[in-house]
Amino acid sequence: MLRRGFKFVHAAVLAFSAVLAFLFVRGLDERGVLGNSAMVWVFDSDDSVSGANVAEAIASFSADRDITVAREVPDLRDPDGRRHLYLASGDLKSGAGKWLAGGYPEFSRNSRTDVHPIDEVGQRDPRGNYYVFGSPEAADKLIAEFSRLGMRASVSHPLSYSELAPIYSGSALLWSFCVVALAAVTMTGASVLLSAKTYGVLRLQGKSLTDLLLYDLRRLLAFWPMAAGTVAAVTIAFLQFYNGLAWFALFASVAGVLAGLLVLLVVVTHAAMISLTCKVEILRAIKGELPARAAMVSVYLIRVPALLLALSVAMNVALAAQDVLTRQENREAYAKEADAVTIRLNGSLPGESKQVITEVGSWLRRADVAGEVIVAGRRDLQSISPESRLPSGEILIVNETFISKQPVLDPSGHRYAQKEKKGKSPDSQVRVIIPESFDNRASAISAAISGVLSPDTDRQIRVTTLRAKNGQRFFGYSPGSQVYSAAHGPKEDRSFVREPVLVVIPNGSNVLTDDGYTAFASQDAVIFPDPDDALNAIEASKVNGLQTYVTAVRPIGQNSAIKLRDAVNELRLQLFNLVLAVAVLLIAGVGVCIIYSRKNAQGIFVRHISGWRYAATHRFILSIEGAVAVVLATRVPFEVWQQNQELKRLAAAGLPLPHPLVQLKVLDLSIVAGLVAIELGAVLIALAIFHGRIVKERATEG
């Protein structure tokens, strides 16, 4: 009879492949439009034709070649959850052409796509992204058509392996695939080892290595239809409920590829482990003996990487859990600013940066003078003057409206007031508010900030240095992931900035250039508390052209909610990876004990009846496992020590530190201790069980 372990591995591989395929295709759908063969990015135009002329040309181009072209435009009010496709098709009855009548088949529930005829795009600026549905050569022809219309464009293939590989390398999905593969290999190997007696009997009957493998595979063939049918039925029922089987062919192909890779890996492992058992003489194999040296090496070749993988995944779980907790704690701050929005700039205008700065920067300056915006720009403190060896920290460049919204306290606990505007022209006096903890470097910080604000002598800027009470933190109105910080990771939620240096610039002052306003806007650092102020200006831009440069407004609360959702999904996936990694550790630990006990059963019994202590009897295996536990327990602290030593060498050389000294948290140490306990505990328990079984069986035989 085929062992249940083999059946479980193959059923689990099919189920996990479906889950991973679902997560992968859902991510693709949320990132872009599915089904395209290429994406053409139009990034420059000589303005010789209008947007309506371009739409007409695309409609004619699609009709002549029986292909479909769709212009993607984010929703003005909900750019993260909704997009618009302006579509032209040469065949309205097949492929993407059917979307005009039936709508876009959304795979993910987290986003919505509205489809419109391309002539509804109106006089919108034609620069942007165009999806091509058809042969890959059609994209080159479309570029030629854009060139004829006086525009420059480039082509990419967002669904190709070359463009997806960099995105998913190092992602949680890839970690999941690796952990599933390792678990499948471990379970298969353990199942073969536990079947050693069966293989010995079959070899006694004249079966060869190939016969043994085919013997197992034939029995799996009887199980496979049932397992595959069950997984398929459950998957189809779920997808029918979730999205009406949208993009089912794409999902099925991805799931099939993943399942094929994992099944191939399982079959190869199965064959390799059977080959290993065949190295033992038939009579010894019938007794359940294994090739101890080769088997032990094989198990540790799985177990050591599994330990390191489990440790890495556990650290990822700790980071993901902390990220989720932080984002949940910050939700209250975003709820208080429920209506506030930032703006999203058009990324398809690289050749018109000066025009973007002029139009957007001057508009934001006027809004700042009117008190319609909050400015909360961020800079890394050390980056403003590397030669000054400034301490690690952050700078918040804010306007007076920011000061009126959030209490900034001086060392005595009194709040700094918003400076009232005097006269018609904006004031050029800047307040630099430095926390008390930076007192010993206050003059250097102030001088460095003055140098950044007035790089030339033509701009006379007055800088007043003040002190702030220690321990304050300020709401930054965004997670801050778009802005570099040496002290924080790119995914870390920095909605609250602790003890920053505040640079307070009068509203609309020329201290902050149009370029500065535009740069801060691109970093979600210019906030409109009243969204109508932004929307009305964009609607009015049909006359002044602002709508060309600003594609959408983005609610800051929605942005935070989306990032929290992504963080929760990341945590769930990492927890799944951790459970599998721990399962691999347990299986591999038991496998070590099986091999050891079967090889040394006679010696263990003799030592037991001779009065040897338990620890002395199993000195060899306990020494190896103790060494593995020590390596596992000290790996993270050692890596932290190495990083801190390097940072100290940089500090001794007078160089600015890329980030503060790394501190091990209680959670980190608890996770390491837990893994060590699981890894060592599994071996000790399994060893005790096998020891007791050997003593009992041999005593009965005697």
Greater model confidence, 265 or 390: 265
- Least confident residue range of 228-242, 296-310, 355-369, 507-521: 296-310
Q: pLDDT tens, 522-557?
A: 999 999 999 999 998 888 865 447 888 898 999 998
Over residues 410-417, mean pLDDT: 91
Greater model confidence, 298 or 637: 637
Over residues 398-424, mean pLDDT: 86
Query: Is 489 strand, coil or helix?
Result: coil
pLDDT at residue 459 tops 70: no
Q: How far apart are CA 239 and CA 614, in angstroms?
A: 55
pLDDT at residue 458 tops 60: no
Over residues 365-391, mean pLDDT: 87
Mean pLDDT value across the chain: 86
Q: How far apart are CA 397 and CA 276, in angstroms?
A: 66
Confidence of residue 424 (pLDDT cuts 50, 70, 90): low
Q: Provide the pLDDT for residue 69.
A: 95
**Which of 31, 72, 114, 82 has the alpha carbon at shortest distance from 555?**
82
By the 8 A CB rule, do 380 and 656 touch?
no
Confidence of residue 28 (pLDDT cuts 50, 70, 90): very high
User: In degrees to the nearest 10, what's the CA dihedral of 10, 16, 17, 23?
Assistant: 180
Q: pLDDT tens, 602-611?
A: 888 888 888 8
**Which of 524, 541, 493, 538 has the alpha carbon at shortest distance from 373?**
524
Confidence of residue 316 (pLDDT cuts 50, 70, 90): confident
Over residues 362-371, mean pLDDT: 93
Over residues 498-525, mean pLDDT: 91
Q: How far apart are CA 534 and CA 360, in angstroms?
A: 11
Greater model confidence, 638 or 526: 526
Contacts of 185 (CB under 8 A, 6+ apart): 265, 266, 269, 302
- Please report, rounded to a whole number, the percentage of residues in the chain having pLDDT higher than 70: 92
Distance of CA 249 to the CA centre of its chain: 26
Between the CA of residue 363 and those of 308, 520, 538, 541, 639, what are the distances in Å?
Answer: 54, 13, 10, 11, 50
Q: Provide the pLDDT for residue 543.
A: 43
Over residues 254-266, mean pLDDT: 95
What token pair was written down for 380?
Answer: 């890394």
Cα angle: 619, vertex 624, 628; to 5 degrees: 145
Confidence of residue 702 (pLDDT cuts 50, 70, 90): low
By the 8 A CB rule, do 290 and 193 touch?
yes
Query: Judging by beta carbons within 10 Å of its beta carbon (0-12, 13-18, 19+), is residue 382 exposed, middle or buried?
Result: buried
pLDDT at residue 175 tops 70: yes
Q: Provide the pLDDT for residue 256.
A: 96
Confidence of residue 1 (pLDDT cuts 50, 70, 90): very low
pLDDT at residue 426 tops 70: no
Q: pLDDT tens, 102-113?
A: 999 999 998 899
Q: Provide the pLDDT for residue 675.
A: 86
Q: pLDDT tens, 72-104?
A: 999 888 888 899 999 999 888 888 999 999 999
Tell me 609's DSSP state: H
Tell me 656's DSSP state: P
Q: Provide the pLDDT for residue 257.
A: 96
Q: Provide the pLDDT for residue 457.
A: 46
Q: How far apart are CA 413 and CA 478, in angstroms?
A: 27
The alpha carbon dihedral of 87, 89, 95, 101 has a sign of positive
Query: Is 427 strand, coil or helix?
Result: coil
Q: Provide the pLDDT for residue 104.
A: 95
pLDDT at residue 637 tops 80: yes
Q: How far apart are CA 356 and CA 351, in angstroms?
A: 10
Q: Provide the pLDDT for residue 477.
A: 93
By the 8 A CB rule, do 250 and 34 touch?
yes
Q: pLDDT tens, 32-47?
A: 999 999 999 999 888 8
Helix (H) or strand (E) holding 93: none
Q: How far apart are CA 492 and CA 500, in angstroms?
A: 17
Greater model confidence, 89 or 601: 89
Q: How far apart are CA 319 and CA 667, in angstroms?
A: 10
Q: Tell which phi-psi region holds residue 371, choosing left (phi > 0), alpha (psi between -120 and 50) or beta.
A: left
Greater model confidence, 219 or 261: 261
Query: Judging by beta carbons within 10 Å of its beta carbon (0-12, 13-18, 19+), is residue 525 exposed, middle or buried?
Result: buried
Q: pLDDT tens, 129-139?
A: 999 998 888 99
pLDDT at residue 423 tops 60: no
Greater model confidence, 455 or 253: 253
Q: How far apart are CA 253 and CA 248, in angstroms?
A: 8
Contacts of 172 (CB under 8 A, 6+ apart): 316, 570, 573, 574, 577
Over residues 255-266, mean pLDDT: 95
Confidence of residue 485 (pLDDT cuts 50, 70, 90): low
- Least confident residue range of 339-353, 400-414, 445-459: 445-459
Residue 455 CB neighbours (<10 A): 9
How many residues comprise the chain?
702
Q: How far apart are CA 231 and CA 609, in angstroms?
A: 52
pLDDT at residue 231 tops 90: yes
Confidence of residue 292 (pLDDT cuts 50, 70, 90): low
Q: Provide the pLDDT for residue 3.
A: 63
Query: Is 125 strand, coil or helix?
Result: coil
pLDDT at residue 650 tops 80: no
Q: pLDDT tens, 620-636?
A: 888 888 888 888 888 88
Q: Provide the pLDDT for residue 277.
A: 80
